[in-house]
Amino acid sequence: MKSVLALVLAMALASGAFAQQGKKYDATWESLDKRPTPAWFDEGKFGIFIHWGVYSVPAWGPKGKYAEWYWSDMQKKDGETWKHHLATYGEKFQYQDFAPIFKAEMFDPAQWADVFAKSGAKYVVLTSKHHEGFCLWPSPQSWNWNAGDIGPHRDLAGDLITAVKGRGLRMGYYYSLYEWFNPLYKSDVKAYVDQHMLPQLKDLVTRYKPDLVWTDGEWDHPDTTWRSTEFLAWLFNESPVKDEVAVNDRWGKDVRSHHGGFYTTEYGIIDGKTPLAEQHKWEECRGMGASFGYNRNEDASDYKSTAEQLQVLIDTVSRGGNLLLDIGPTGDGRIPVIMQQRLIEMGDWLKVNGEAIYGTHPWRVSSDGDLVRYTSKDGAVYAICLKWPGSDLALPSVKPTDKVAATLVGRDGALACKNENGVLHIAVPPLTVDEVPCRHAYVIKLTGVE
């Protein structure tokens, strides 16, 4: 009996289940920064970001711009967005008039969850509320400006988290601290934080028990105004998700890359000034094109190819990061087919090569030239080639030993290894397109190397 208990405990400890349990955190960065990133987040590597809201109805921005900024961009009367708005909807049509048109009538959470599961992503992050303030759940704090009261008349955030968790994926929410046009925010930020924002954020957490709280829109005020450390102490000490919840670093002006949970980059940059500290857990987020919210202005040529998306994933993981790849569903509730296709093709690659991604650590070096990215796990080193390596693959960063062995992941059989003047060379078999185990990137698994 004793040994069974010991085994169960050992397994639970190994899985990181109790990693944060029992710890109490003070409402100071000094204390909160000591909390480790939950193991599931680091191991998962690949998540899907969803930008969905009232802005998904106009779904428009100048090419290269974020379409979810439509309401804010409309204010510039000499700007492209206002010109488009005027010509399409007329001067009297307000942003609020899009809300009843946001019907999400085609929204099928099970189908979305199926695409996410097929993509190989391990977690999903939905915009519960973007800067427009519209909530995708029936938030009592945002009376008449939420998906329960108007538009879909449905709890989109709740229905999605049930479906996604049902498929064994983790799910959490993006939440914008600020709201562009909320009169309370604009007139009395303290009252906004006390009476609107904090009760709302706590409601989101207690209602849906998300695995992740991904805040944004923090840049107007310091963390003291947002009462961020108080919220985080509650989240880590008392909330129903205290042990397993992951958080990011967007908790106040100048907080990114300094405090909080994982650091965030967006299209490869932080805030334009801070260099990324890759030794701290980080996550890169980006759209498949140039926008997070769906932008009808973007064509196929504006979207990264599957090979390019995979390159971003592999490069990010080799440097210790996660990739949070964004999709922008339409106002009627569909994931654009091109986005589904990209995700499913990434999943096809991960089905073969997932062992070189999930649960890996950055290796001693992250790359060899443009061709190779490295990851490591359980004594193995993975040399991930971003294109077909040809017959002779040289890996200058790898120190060969007598025990070196190599395989092409997804195919049986050892590959011949040679030590040429201290540089490891791998003989890659000449495979036809029908024989290669996958497309886009090819993984050589090495053991017995230093």
Q: Which residues bind ligand GLC (CB under 6 A)?
A: 66, 68-69, 216, 266, 285, 292
In terms of CB distance, is 239 or 248 closer to ligand GLC?
Answer: 248
The least CB distance from residue 13 to ligand GLC, in Å, is 34
Report, in Å, the least distance between residue 292 CB and ligand GLC.
5
Residue whose C-beta lies closest to ligand GLC: 266
| CB closer to ligand GLC, 211 vs 216 | 216
Distances (CA, A) of 132 to 53, 74, 102, 204, 293: 9, 12, 14, 17, 12
User: Least distance from C-beta 402 to ligand GLC, angstroms?
Assistant: 48
Closest approach of Cβ 202 to ligand GLC, in Å? 22
> CA 318 → CA 49, 174, 371, distances in Å?
20, 25, 13
**Three-state DSSP state, 250:** coil
What is the distance in angstroms between the CA of the first residue and the CA of the last residue of the chain? Answer: 42
Residue 263 or 349: the one with the smaller Cβ distance to ligand GLC is 263
Spatial strand order of the sheet with 123-129 comes to: 246-247, 212-216, 170-176, 123-129, 46-50, 321-327, 282-287, 263-266
Q: Shortest approach of ligand GLC to residue 53 CB, angstroms?
A: 10
C-beta of 284 vs 345, nearer to ligand GLC: 284
Closest distance to ligand GLC from the beta carbon of 265 (Å): 9
d(CA 448, CA 434): 30
Q: What single string gives the DSSP state of each residue in 101-148?
A: G---TT--HHHHHHHHHHHT--EEEEEEE-TT--BSS--GGGTTSBTT
- Closest contact distance (angstroms) between CB of 354 and ligand GLC is 26
Closer residue to ligand GLC (CB): 285 or 384: 285
User: Of 239 and 264, which CB lies nearer to ligand GLC in the complex structure?
Assistant: 264
The torsion angles phi and psi of 309, rounded to 5 degrees, stand at -65, -40
Name residue 219's amino acid: W
| Interior angle at CA 124, CA 122 and CA 126, nearest 5 | 175
For ligand GLC, the closer of residues 119 and 295 by Cβ is 295
Of the pair 46, 66, the CB lying nearest ligand GLC is at 66
Q: Look-up: residue for tokens 């990209």?
A: 342
Q: Residue 186 Cβ, how far from ligand GLC at the closest point, in Å?
A: 18
Q: What is the H or E stretch that residue 261 is in?
A: none
Smallest separation, CB 193 to ligand GLC (Å): 19
3-state secondary structure of 359: coil
Task: Return the number of the residue (125 or 386) whose C-beta is nearest ligand GLC.
Answer: 125
Radius of gyration of the chain (CA): 23
Phi and psi at residue 308, to the nearest 5°: -65, -40
